[in-house]
A = this chain, B = another copy of it.
């Protein structure tokens, strides 16, 4: 059904197509560590379920995956808490920006989905349930390392500290949910875990590798290890498609045709079920807060390969 090309050549071809546009878009400036990133960084990594890979550009430079981490914490929470997740958070696109509080007021403190900030904080609260923040942070990091089959992923403590220092809006969201009973743990603990999760750092190569279990019904295709149930995998892909790019999710689905999740660090993880996991990184963001060149690269990749869940 899908053509499987020579992946390294494919990666280089897509990279070459977009390389002239490196540096377009606006780098996130709300914390110094992100603002200092070279806007010309650009990387692309393709990990096929058969073990082959294709890499291009700065694919071995670690970057802050930011909200891409929400995919992995949701995976942990669904495995740990099951359907209880849906008593804390919805599964619908929000129609509003990533940090909107309007929707929370209208819907009595239940975030629309796990990929807006409020939803991810609510998910974090579930991870905390019986453990302290340090244990929860360690569990997240362990999961990232296990999924990427690498000790590379780490928490950038400087970024975590910056997130906390500038986190008034997220603190507001958390206290708001607390007032409705959506959070069961201490607000400060939930925020602590959330800020550390956002500060996870990985290379594009590691990120593409870490997404492979999502392209293979929950099982790491290279180790055979099941990371999440088939149902959890289906749920995550579905949410990535409908909610993964904030208020540009519909446009991403239409252009790229694959479930994807972006972060303000400029990273995007996209999954072609049964085929491949793809990670891109380019720090310049478009008006919706998603990587500008990264999105274009995924669109080009989809054109080159014909990969799309709608075909």
Contact = CB atoms under 8 A, between A and B. Distances in A.
Interface string A202-235: 0000000000000001000000000000000111
A201 interface: no
A93 B95 contact: yes
Interface centre among A93, A176, A243 (most CB of B within 10 A): A93
Given A172-B175, A172-B179, A249 B308 contact: no
A38 B138 CA distance: 51
B254 A249 contact: no
A193 interface: no
B101 A176 contact: yes
B239 A254 contact: yes
B234 A92 contact: no
Contacts of A90: 250
Nearest to A178: B168
B172 A168 contact: no
A310 B169 contact: no
A98 to B, nearest CB: 13
Q: Which of the four size classes fits the interface of chain A?
A: 35 or more
A255 to B, nearest CB: 9
A96 interface: yes
A57 interface: no
Nearest to A255: B238
A49 B143 CA distance: 41
Nearest to A171: B175
A219 to B, nearest CB: 13
Contacts of A92: 93, 95, 247-251
Contacts of A106: 102
A91 B172 contact: no
A6 interface: no
B93 A311 contact: no
Interface string A89-132: 01111111000111111100000110000000000000000000
Given A235-B254, A237-B310, A311-B217, A242 B93 contact: yes
A9 interface: no
Contact of A169 (B175, B217, B238, B259): B175
A254 B101 CA distance: 24
Given A92-B249, A92-B250, A239-B250, 14 more contacts: A91-B251, A91-B254, A92-B93, A94-B95, A101-B101, A101-B102, A101-B172, A171-B175, A171-B178, A172-B172, A235-B254, A238-B250, A242-B250, A242-B253
25 contacts: A1-B1, A91-B250, A92-B248, A92-B249, A92-B250, A93-B93, A93-B95, A95-B95, A95-B103, A95-B112, A101-B101, A101-B105, A168-B178, A169-B175, A169-B176, A171-B187, A172-B175, A172-B176, A234-B254, A237-B310, A238-B253, A238-B257, A273-B311, A274-B311, A309-B310
